[in-house]
Amino acid sequence: MSIQFIEEFDNASKKTAPGSKGIAILNILIVISSIIAIPFTWGFSLFSLFAVPIYSALQSIANETYRTRLFTEIQTQIIAEKEGLFKKPRMRRIARSAPIYEEELIDETDDIDEENLDDDIDK
């Protein structure tokens, strides 16, 4: 396995899903707003804290799905390289002794219109 794939593997294991940061910010805002709203809602705002584990689970699922996709891409590249799919096949040319088309000599004198030729000369 080449160094390129090892580096890609390390990078893929550290990456997070694009929406992961947004979910983390949403969790922080829910916790802060729930704690601030406790005196105004007689403690009912604490029920919104039940959403934090759900959003955290969604964040974890998104991260693992994203990393799995990256690892699958790396694995596919390794298999394709191993099987030689990136090697370009040699182009084989077929040598023929006969020409591809029939060559005909064109007699250009047949195409001349005699009437138009006389009109041009008289002027």
Least confident interval from 1-15, 20-34, 97-111:
97-111
Say if residues 24 and 59 touch (Cβ distance below 8 Å). yes
At residue 56, the pLDDT reads 92
Question: Closest Cα partner for 35 from 46, 51, 47?
Answer: 46
Does residue 28 sit within a domain?
yes
Which one has a higher pLDDT value, 121 or 18? 18
Domain membership of residue 93 (yes or no) is no
Categorize the per-residue pLDDT at 27 as very low, low, confident or very high, splitting at 50, 70 and 90: very high
pLDDT at 120 over 90: no
C-alpha closest to that of 30 among 11, 45, 12 = 45
- For residue 71, the enclosing domain spans 3-83
Residues 6 or more apart whose CB falls under 8 angstroms from that of 59 comprise 17, 19, 20, 23, 24, 27
Q: Closest by alpha carbon to 12, among 50, 87, 65, 67?
A: 67
Closest CA to 52 of 74, 37, 72, 33: 33
Q: Is the pLDDT of residue 81 over 90?
A: no
What confidence category does residue 62 fall into, taking pLDDT thresholds of 50, 70 and 90?
very high
Amino acid identity of 105?
L
Cα–Cα distance list, 76 to 28, 58, 70, 80, 87 (Å): 38, 27, 10, 6, 15
**Number of domains composing the chain:** 1
pLDDT for residue 16: 87
Residue 20 falls inside a structural domain: yes
Residue 51 belongs to a domain: yes
